Amino acid sequence: MDKKVSAIIVVVILLAAGLTGAIYVLNNNNKETSVSYAGDVKIYGNANNDDTISSADIDVLNDLIVNQNYTETDYPYADADQDGEITASDVEVVQNIIDGKETIIYYVNYFDSVRTIHYPITGTIGTSF
Confidence band of 5 (pLDDT split at 50, 70, 90) = low
CA distances from 4 to 7, 54, 123 (A): 5, 11, 15
Q: Which of 35-44, 82-91, 97-106, 113-122 has the lowest mean pLDDT?
A: 35-44
| pLDDT > 70: percent of the chain | 65
Q: Which tens digits make up the pLDDT trace of 32-88?
A: 443 444 457 799 999 999 989 999 999 999 999 999 888 889 999 999 999 999 999
Res 20 pLDDT > 80: no
60: amino acid identity, one letter: V
| Order of strands, sheet of 103-108, starting from the edge strand that comes earlier in the sequence | 42-43, 103-108, 114-119
pTM: 0.67
**Among the four given CATH numbers 3.90.1310.10, 3.40.50.10800, 1.10.1040.10, 1.10.1330.10, the one describing domain 2-119:** 1.10.1330.10
Residue bearing the bigger pLDDT, 20 or 4:
4
In the chain the first and final C-alpha atoms are separated, in Å, by 30
Q: Provide DSSP, 34-81.
A: -----S--EETT-TT-SS--SHHHHHHHHHHHHHT---TTT-TT--TT
Residue bearing the bigger pLDDT, 95 or 15:
95
Indicate the domain borders of the chain.
Answer: 2-119
